Structure 1
Amino acid sequence: MKKTRAASIFSLSLLVTALNASAQNEPKGNRKDNRDSLWSISLEDVTVTSNGLNSKIKNLSSTVNIVNSKQIKDLGIQSVGDAIRLIPGANYQDEDGRGLKPGIGLRGLDPSRNGYVVVLVDGKIPLGQSYGQLGAYYMLPIASIERIEVIKGASPVLYGAGSIGGVINLITKKGYGKPNVEGSVEAGSYGYLNASASAFGDNGKFNYYINYNRRQGDGFRSTRSAFGTNDVTFRIGTKLDNKDEFTFSGNVYTEDAETPGGLSEQQYKDNYKQSVNPFDQFYANRYSASAVYKKSIDSLNTISLSVFANYFKRNWWYDTNRDKKSILGDLRDIFTGGTVLEYNRNNKLFNLKNSLIVGVKYLGDQTNSIKVLGADPLQHVGKTTYSVTIPTNVFEGYIQDEIHFSDKFSFTPGLRYTAINYGQNNYMTAQKLSTKTDVLIYSFGFLYKPIERFRVYSTVSKGYNPPVLYAALDPGTVANGNNLGAETSTNYEVGIRTTPVNWMDISMSGYVLDFDHKLIEESGRFTNAGKALHQGLELELNVFPLKGLRVYVTGALQKATFNEGPNKGNLLPYAPKQLFTAGMQYERSIGIGTMGVNIYNTFTGRQYNDALNTEQPSPDGSNGAIPSYNLLNLAVNYKWSHWGVSATVNNMLNEKYFTHRYDFWGGKFPGAPTTVNIGLNYRLHP
């Protein structure tokens, strides 16, 4: 392992030297800048806004990747999951081919239901529950998102448990300018409709943004895949004076969706668009609210208080035996709330410029889970067979300081303490269970800037991820004295950011996640897997060879393996060795407007769904290899004055593929075939 780390760091060092020399030796007369205002998505001017960082990406001692609003529009992206494909080292697992329940994994971690990644809204507000269930079932509509920030490296200290691979920060749109309205509608294959309407504005003291989004469709599965969602998101902000700001945000979401489930090997071969689950139905309602107060004490000191809460109700009815004779209702009510108090100070310490972040955090939730067995699959009533309440309470404190020893070198140490208490009350058996855990983790970051065009950074951090609540409190573990325990890791990262010439941006990082104790989930069951090792190289490259033309590549070469036990050397479940996206984007003025064309391909390498890395598929489709697949996509748009039209073609080559296997849900989950969408949008004030 030491040789591997040394080799990775040595390789990066050679690249650093070469790029440094290129930047210094290139004659100024040969340099040209082909990126105009239409194409400049350089990291130079992007500021990360999460957890008090408020720093330009180029100056952070961690890997940061951005998907901005221009990319989202130009690529015709329909969901957050599709946008995540553009992030190096991100594995997107679309549960049912409709983008309703995205699974995202970073750096070789399991993407299933976002169980190993923290998803935040505007840097503070968790999208899912507390550490009981990091994120599942819901994702903000892409229409209300300004950009997506993915922060890796030192993320465990600022964002806590579950962020070993990184954190996904959804920056929502805010009101700006004079009062304005905009709307868009897209229609396409399989009865698809995606319609949004927004109103926003800012008069200097008061700003507002409200968006309504409706998505619906029949789904590509020939039966039982119709869906409909409604999402209302709003944000109201005010500047009480030149030192005090207050923001209130909220969200209302409803979903009514047929869930087509999985297929056996023969069913998939006969017709991968079919569904064999004629009675499965998913209903959801979500209500959330948050308030943020920020006070600038003086030019050096600020304090902020965030308070948030959400209620999520989800009723899932399905034929658990696939025998069409009975139906099971899995009913959950989830209450989540918390608060974050944070202090930021920018001053000089021992005559050195520094930026301090200190925060305390409380997260709590309660899951009420009921299972109902019904004899008639057409009636959502029956006998209660399971009734459990699970409360979770999390208390945390963190501190991080960015210290600048000079204009060229900075050092960023950090600490975080976390204490988690789980409880469970089983009303059917009158059994009560509880367990708790706590941990102190750290991170150290370094950034060196020998010249303005080039930066090298490195981080070392301790990672921590507790088991989700239903694994932590499984009666077969806690009651028998076999506590699963939490995942712990030591993480190493080294990376570069450079603009060696005016027409090129390069970001590259190498990492090692060394797990002392790893938990894995196979077909819904958690087990202790001992030591594991994640290693990888990540790349983000933008080249501007001609004015209006961008060629880009993002991706990762990675290897996540068991490091001890009978499966030593095998790949971890859902950890492909290769993840790449490559494309070309061209834009030019034509007539009264601007035409944009974007073609890009995403590649996901071979995966396995079990620790044995089983190659041969089982007849029921629940086990076996998951072959690699390519998705070639095309997006075309034309914008003029107040209007815009667009067309997207996804999976142009109509590749037949599937993303995962799950025995409980019936086997293989197929991906969507070729789909075509046509869109129209309008803005009152361009």
Structure 2
Amino acid sequence: MTPRARASGLATALAALLSTPAAAAAPPGGAAPAGAPETAAPDASVALGEEVVVIGQRVGPLDSADVVTSVDILGGEVIQGQSTAEPLELLRRVPAVYVESFNQGIINADVGLRGFNTQGDVAHTKLLIDGIPSSHHVGLPDMKAVFPLEIERMEVVKGTNDPRYGLNNVAGNIHVITRKAGSERIARLVAGSFWTVEPQVLVATEHDALSQTYFAGYRGSDNYRDHARTDRVAGSAKWFYEPSRGLRVGLILRGMLLDADAPGYLSAADARARPTASPAHAATDGGRQTTLHASVHLDHELTQGLSWQLKGYGQAFLRDRWVKFDPDLDQQLRAENDRQYGAISVLTYRARDPRALGLTVAWGVDYQLQDNRTQRIPTIDRQRQGAAFRDEDFALHAAGSYVQASASPIKPIKLVAALRADRLAGAGGFLEQPEGEAARRVDHDLNDYGFIWQPKASVMVTPVKGQRLYANYGRTFQIGTGKGAYAVQGAPLDPSINDGWEIGYRSSVFPWITSHVAYWEQRASGEVRDKGDGSGDAENVGETMRRGFDVELTLRPFGFLSVWGAFSRAISEQVEPGPALAANKGKELDHVPSFSAKGGVDVRPVQELLVSLFCYAQGDYYLNKENLTEENGSRKVGDYVVINASAAYDVTEALSVGVEVNNLLDRSYDTSIWYKDFGAAGAQHNPGNARSAYVTGTLSF
């Protein structure tokens, strides 16, 4: 990718976006937050489904708790006490979110939301860390650079009516907010099964107008399966300066190094008979990843009621992965150099005059450049054996803008409307080898998607305090990832337009019970998926339909007891797959669990002791879009139930100890199953961990 091509793409995207009258003339919007939150919610340990109560006048952008849709906030108290091999697994506690753990070195997990799968072939959920996008160029979320102790809270917004984000915000978004203020010094050590050791240290100080936060963490573990050793170290430094009440500037630096072996996959029989085994052909599989991040943050209250938030960032995901799927296939090095640069600006106006009916207006503009190089190179035992057989160098420029507004024309009713527009540009060079010809590099421009318009609207009615009925509509979009987004075919793929709506009810009339129920639907005009054949290209599987319902309930009958549970049902369907895939019409999309259920019991018999039980279950799913494999026929697979238990005791105000037992009943199950239709075809299984135990010590000093 030449500098001229990159500059041309940037100019095209920005000029096209700024020349449109949408930002000035579009209907104002705002079901969702205007810009990522920088400060903590009033209660950083909000329970799932609990409403966030704000006292006094708000300043700055809205946050996720203001979105008129299904939103769950996972508080730091729940997060920081956990130990997970992959940070994305923390999201297992969030209703309607399902997580698939691959356990393949640097390729470790993916999350699913609103009936989308966890195979990485569809970019459907946007991940942000401190307001900065944190997904690879193919849309896969990456949380490896943060550890539990550093996380203040996690916010999950589900559905299509959040206008803050464009690219990859198809079914919702996940926002991870880390600690960046206060005065505290905390050290935590986790040790346990599979020779796992995880020390973490966080030091935060505030002096006059300057706050500083430093974090360092390491996790080393042999893990459950053979040849699965991982070593991950991460650190961050954050400086925020607040010279006046209305001005705050900050700098965040973050880095992560990961070195991991990969145990490979097993057949169904071997997964049950020898779940810890690693096949011989995977003996040198594994990988390395480096993540680097720098971002600047500005929050400025320009005048009373008018605030501006600006973020700028640069980051890199550098990955080398060696993988050999079969004894008869060659090992290959999959090298990725993924660099991203961007800026996010949000201007928010909050009317102070009571006669303004609670009017809030926000205007946001965001831009991201993805500068990517991906290669696949033949290797033997990690030694290169020739030139790359797949070599792609491409850039993508994504520019978007939205306006949103909300108001309450009469006291119990809140109306919200928004309009977002996105414009994409880019170009790249791709190594191609037509049949019978020598390999050559061919340049292609990004598909011309034009302006992608996304209207959104919602209404919320509060008949009495503590009861809220809401409904929303929104449009999002999806494009191909990597090579699949570029005009490499005779008929370029159009963007997939996703239209979704939701109706829900949330109740917290009494302090001892809160509940939430919602029904939703989402229809895609032409879903784009990675082919999965190693070509890096994408295919359009046609019109798809997803629908389902979510139920959440939290009970606190006594001060020492809390019981919560959540159940989500999702149904996905290939409505009109087109002539080429006509046989798939009416069949389900693959790797979408039929349900996700989770619940917990927290008991505090004395103030110093907390005992918890957590259960996670998911339903079965099909392994491919044909809903038929030679091995399993038309049978679904992948359902399981796992129960975890933990206890934490405050020895003193400064020292606490804990114990955690995962898979308490020692059940056999698979955290990942996928169908390989190349080489030796068949289902590939990754067994979940057997019963494991960990002890934790936490010291405040």
Shorter chain as normaliser: what TM range? 0.7 to 0.9
Deviation at 1:469, TM superposition (A): 1.7
Structure 1 residue corresponding to 2:222, chosen from 218, 232, 247: 218
Equivalent residue in structure 1 for 2:619, among 594, 605, 612: 605
Whole-angstrom CA distance in 1 between matches of 2:77 and 2:105: 23
Letter in 2 for 1:279: T
CA contact (8 A) 2:600 2:613 kept: yes
Is residue 2:175 matched to residue 1:169? yes
Distance across 2 between alignment mates of 1:609 and 1:574: 6
- Tell me the secondary structure at the aligned position of residue 393 of structure 1: strand
Residue 300 (str. 1) matches residue 305 (str. 2): yes
Aligned residue number for residue 24 of structure 1: none
Quick one: structure 1 residues 467 and 39, their matched pair in 2 at CA, closer, same or farther if it must change by over 3 Å?
closer
Q: Corresponding residue for 2:102? A: 95
- The CA deviation at 1:549 is 0.3
Matches of 1:163 and 1:454 in 2, distance apart? 29
Give unmatched runs, 5+ long, in structure 1.
1-35
Aligned CA distance change for structure 1 residues 37 and 377 (closer, same or farther; 3 Å) = closer
Residues 663-685 of structure 1 show CA distances to partners (whole Å, capped at 9, x for unaligned) of 2798222222211111111011x
1:624 to partner: Cα distance? 6.8
In the alignment, does 2:443 pair up with 1:429? no
- The 8 Å contact of residues 155 and 167 in structure 1, kept in 2 or not, is answered as no
Quick check: 1:403 aligned with 2:403? Answer: no
Determine if contact 1:44/1:56 at 8 Å carries over to the other structure. Answer: no
Whether contact under 8 Å (2:484, 2:530) holds in the other structure is: no
Equivalent position amino acid for 1:602 in 2 = Y
Are the counterparts in 1 of residues 69 and 158 from structure 2 also a CA contact under 8 Å?
yes
2:244 match: secondary structure: coil
Structure 1 Cα separation of the partners of residues 531 and 694 of structure 2: 36
Report the alpha carbon displacement of residue 500 of structure 1 after superposing the two structures with TM: 3.2
- CA, structure 1 residues 369+51, in 2 after alignment: closer, same or farther (shift >3 Å)? farther
- Displacement after TM superposition at 1:614 (Å): 2.3
Alignment of 1:150-299 (within 5 A): 150-177=156-183, 180-222=184-226, 224-276=227-279, 277-299=282-304
1:76–1:647 CA contact under 8 A, matched in 2:
no
Which one-letter code corresponds to 1:310 in the other structure?
A: Q
- Is 2:323 the counterpart of 1:318? yes
Residue 39 of structure 2 corresponds to: none
Give 1:543 deviation, angstroms.
0.1
1:519 is matched with: 528
Offset at residue 321 of structure 1 (A): 4.7
| Residue matched to 1:509 | 518
Mark the CA change 1:37 to 1:60 in structure 2 (over 3 Å): closer, same or farther: closer
Deviation string, structure 1 residues 330-361 (Cα, Å, up to 9, x no partner): 21211101001110101169833211110111
Match of 1:567 among 571, 579, 584: 584
Q: Distance in 2 between matches of 1:213 and 1:424?
A: 37
- Structure 2: how far apart are the matches of 1:137 and 1:644? 27
How far apart in 2 are the matches of 1:243 and 1:539?
Answer: 40
Q: Which runs of 5 or more residues in structure 2 are unaligned?
A: 1-42, 432-438, 577-581
Aligned to 2:37: none
- For residues 143 and 81 of structure 2, the distance between their equivalents in structure 1, rounded to whole angstroms, comes to 27
Aligned to 1:117: 125
| CA offsets 1:309-330 (integer angstroms, 9 cap, x no match) | 1022111122355348x53222
Q: 2:133, 2:106 → 1: CA distance?
A: 20
1:61 corresponds to 2:78: no
Return the offset for 1:382: 4.5
Is the 8 Å Cα contact of residues 644 and 680 (structure 1) preserved in structure 2? yes
Look up the equivalent residue of 2:509 and give its one-letter code: P
Q: Over residues 37-69 of structure 1, what are the superposed CA-to-partner deviations in whole Å (9 max), with x where a residue is unaligned? A: 999777333679x99643583x54121101101
Does the CA contact (< 8 Å) of 2:104 and 2:262 recur in 1?
A: no
Distance of aligned partners of 1:378 and 1:563 in 2 relative to their CA distance in 1, 3 Å threshold: closer
**Residue number in structure 1 paired with 2:549:** 537
CA distance in 2, matches of 1:588, 1:645: 16
Summarize the Cα distance change of 1:351–1:650 in structure 2 as closer, same or farther, 3 Å threshold. Answer: same
**Are 1:338 and 2:349 counterparts?**
no
Whether the 8 Å contact between 1:156 and 1:164 is mirrored in structure 2 is: no
How many percent identity over aligned positions? Answer: 17
Match of 1:587?
604
Q: Partner of 2:25 in structure 1?
A: none
Q: In structure 2, what is the Cα distance between the partners aligned to 1:149 and 1:47?
A: 17
State the SS of the aligned residue for 2:303.
coil
* Deviation of 1:482 (Å): 3.1
What is the deviation of 1:393?
0.6
Q: Does 1:81 align with 2:88?
A: yes
Q: Does 1:439 align with 2:462?
A: no
Aligned partners of 1:411 and 1:447 also within 8 Å: yes
**Worse-superposed segment, 595-604 or 404-413:** 404-413
TM-fit CA distance, 1:587: 1.2
Kept after mapping to 1: 8 A contact 2:214/2:237: yes
Amino acid at match of 1:496: Y
In the alignment, which of 453, 459, 465 is matched to residue 452 of structure 1? 465
Deviations 1:441-494 (A, max 9, x none): 010011111111111111111121111123224xxxx43313232221211111
Shift in alpha-carbon separation, 1:143–1:419, aligned structure 2, 3 A: same
* 1:104 paired residue among 98, 107, 111: 111
Distance in 2, Cα, partners of 1:528 & 1:40:
40
| 1:494 correspondence with 2:503 | yes
| Secondary structure of 2:525's aligned partner | strand
Q: Residues 138-164 of structure 1, C-alpha deviation per residue, up to 9 Å, x if partnerless?
A: 453222111110012354422213223
Per the alignment, residue 35 of structure 2 pairs with none
Counterpart amino acid of residue 347 in structure 2: Y
Alignment CA distance shift 1:121-1:137 (3 Å) = closer
**Superposed CA RMSD:** 2.8
Tell me, in whole angstroms, the C-alpha distance in 2 between the residues paired with 1:407 and 1:163: 32
Aligned to 2:314: 309
Residue in structure 2 matched with residue 7 of structure 1 by the alignment:
none
8 A contact 2:594–2:619 mirrored in 1: yes
Deviations 1:91-139 (A, max 9, x none): 11112188973201111112234831100112x3001245x53535845
TM-score (norm 2): 0.84
| 2:661 is equivalent to residue 644 of structure 1 | no
Provide the rounded CA distance (Å) in 1 between the counterparts of 2:541 and 2:111: 21
Q: What is the TM-score normalised by the length of structure 1? A: 0.86
The answer on whether the counterparts of 2:289 and 2:320 sit within 8 Å (CA) in structure 1 is yes
The residue type equivalent to 2:112 in the other structure is G
AA aligned to 2:694 is N
1:578 and 2:595 correspond: yes
Among 617, 627, 631, the residue aligned to 2:631:
617
- 8 Å CA contact retained: 2:505, 2:517: yes
For 2:231, give the aligned amino acid: G
Q: Tell me if the contact between 2:190 and 2:198 (Cα under 8 Å) persists in the aligned partners.
A: yes
User: For each residue in 1:387-434, what CA deviation from the matched residue of structure 2 results, as whole angstroms up to 9, or x when unmatched?
Assistant: 320111111111111112133111110011111124221366131112
SS of 2:484's equivalent in the other structure is helix
In structure 2, the CA distance between the partners of 1:155 and 1:195, relative to structure 1 (3 Å rule), is farther
Code of the aligned partner of 1:446: V
Aligned to 1:148: 154
Count of residues in correspondence between the two structures: 630
CA contact (8 A) 2:163 2:456 kept: yes
User: What SS is found at the alignment partner of 1:482?
Assistant: coil
Letter in 2 for 1:612: E
Q: 1:139 to 1:119 in 2, by over 3 A?
A: farther
CA contact (8 A) 1:539 1:555 kept: yes
Distance between the aligned counterparts of 1:418 and 1:56, measured in 2?
Answer: 21
What CA distance in whole angstroms lies between the structure 2 residues aligned with 1:53 and 1:446?
20
Change (3 A) 1:602 1:569: same
User: In the alignment, is the contact (CA less than 8 A) between 1:184 and 1:682 conserved in 2?
Assistant: yes
For the 8 Å contact 2:204–2:211, the answer to whether it is kept is yes
In 2, the alpha carbon distance for the partners of 1:387 and 1:322 equals 24
